[in-house]
Structure 1
């Protein structure tokens, strides 16, 4: 069964109780036909792993007792991708979904010189709400105990100022090399441009800010493919890692 997410307001850990409503309730009650007595895997998206013994299913929510709660720390290896907003919303949605499945830690929608589609301030919150729904659905299916962080869109220069990373890389089609590095246990930030990629001035500005330009191969990838490649690259490098805590 998929993993289901409960918000802090729906959790009463002191009394080992939880309620599920909204989209998660719809999936459980209408799609999976959940009944009293069923055990449902739940998480708060911040490391809680538990089961909900369903006791009552109403019209708009279900509730029950929390069983076998435990806390799982986040992976030591963390990957952030700052990806330019794309002209096609469906392509950005695809990135959100698949990057979540692959284990991304943080998603930063970015506005660069060549970003074609820039939402106005009045629509940002609605877009973020829809994006969060896509991320949560993908995380449910892939049984992630830690939901990726999704930030509001950032300007390119603000993305350059993101700190706390051990490795900061910018993908650029004119670059010919990929630096050798060991990702295990590190916090890694990739910058990925949109249609048309980054301008030469942006690459130079990123280098001056401490970013290393990298190649993703001889063929030019679509923006969403490049963003997914970044996450999959790190994931594949960690498959042989002996310590599961360092894997995505």
Structure 2
């Protein structure tokens, strides 16, 4: 069964009780036809995990008893992808969904020199709300106990100064080399351009800021594909490791 998300104010840990409403309730009650007595996995998206034994089901919410509460530690490897906003909203939505399923820890919508579609300040809030819904739906399906952090859009220069990363990489179609790197246990930041990629000046600025350029192969990938590939690349390398504790 999918994993369902509850907000902190919906959790009453003192009385071992929780409420589910909104989209999560709709999926449980209308799609899965959940009944009183059913047990469903829940999380707050920040590492709290438990099972909820459904008690009562109303028109807009359900509640139930919390069983087997526990804490799930975050993955040791943290992948962030800063991807340029794309002309097609559907393509950016696809990236959000697949990057979440593959285990991205943070997603940064980015505005570069060649970004075609730049939302005005009045629309950013609505876009973020819709994007969070996509991320939560993908996280529910892939049973993630830690929701990815979805940041407000940043300019390219703001993305360059994001700190706290062990590896900082920028994908560029003119680059031929693929640097050797060991991702296990590290915080990794990928910069991925949009339609037309990065300008030479942006790549130069990134290198000066400490980023390493890398190639994703001879064929030129669409922006959303490159963003998905960045997360999948790290996941594949971790799965190849013999030690399961190092996996994403």
- Shorter-normalised TM-score: what interval? over 0.9
C-alpha distance in 1 between matches for 2:22 and 2:89:
24
Stretches of structure 1 that go unaligned for 5 or more consecutive residues are none
Aligned partner of 2:129 in structure 1 is 129
Aligned partner of 1:212 in structure 2 is 212
- 1:190 correspondence with 2:193: no
C-alpha distance in 1 between matches for 2:63 and 2:222:
44
Quote the RMSD (CA, aligned, Å). 0.7
Aligned partner of 1:161 in structure 2 is 161
Aligned partner of 2:90 in structure 1 is 90
C-alpha distance in 1 between matches for 2:246 and 2:57:
39
Cα deviation code 1:179-229 (max 9, x no counterpart): 101100000000000000000000000000000000000000000000011
C-alpha distance in 1 between matches for 2:97 and 2:16:
31
Deviation at 1:39, TM superposition (A): 0.1
After superposition, residues 66-105 of structure 1 pair within 5 angstroms as 66-105=66-105
Deviation at 1:243, TM superposition (A): 3.9
Deviation at 1:45, TM superposition (A): 0.4
- The aligned length equals 248
Aligned partner of 1:7 in structure 2 is 7
> Secondary structure at 2:14's aligned position in 1?
helix
C-alpha distance in 2 between matches for 1:134 and 1:169:
26
Aligned partner of 1:176 in structure 2 is 176
More off after superposition, 237-246 vs 105-114: 237-246
> Secondary structure at 1:119's aligned position in 2?
coil
Deviation at 1:14, TM superposition (A): 1.5
The TM-score with structure 1 as length reference comes to: 0.99
After superposition, residues 30-49 of structure 1 pair within 5 angstroms as 30-49=30-49
Aligned partner of 1:150 in structure 2 is 150
Stretches of structure 2 that go unaligned for 5 or more consecutive residues are none
> Secondary structure at 1:51's aligned position in 2?
strand
Aligned partner of 1:240 in structure 2 is 240
> Secondary structure at 2:81's aligned position in 1?
strand
Answer whether contact 1:74 1:245 (CA < 8 A) is retained: no
Deviation at 1:247, TM superposition (A): 1.8
Runs of 4+ in 1 over 4 A off after TM superposition: none
> Secondary structure at 2:75's aligned position in 1?
coil
C-alpha distance in 1 between matches for 2:244 and 2:77:
10
Cα deviation code 1:129-148 (max 9, x no counterpart): 00000000000000011000
Deviation at 1:246, TM superposition (A): 2.9
The TM-score with structure 2 as length reference comes to: 0.99
Cα deviation code 1:97-145 (max 9, x no counterpart): 0000000100000000000000000000000000000000000000011
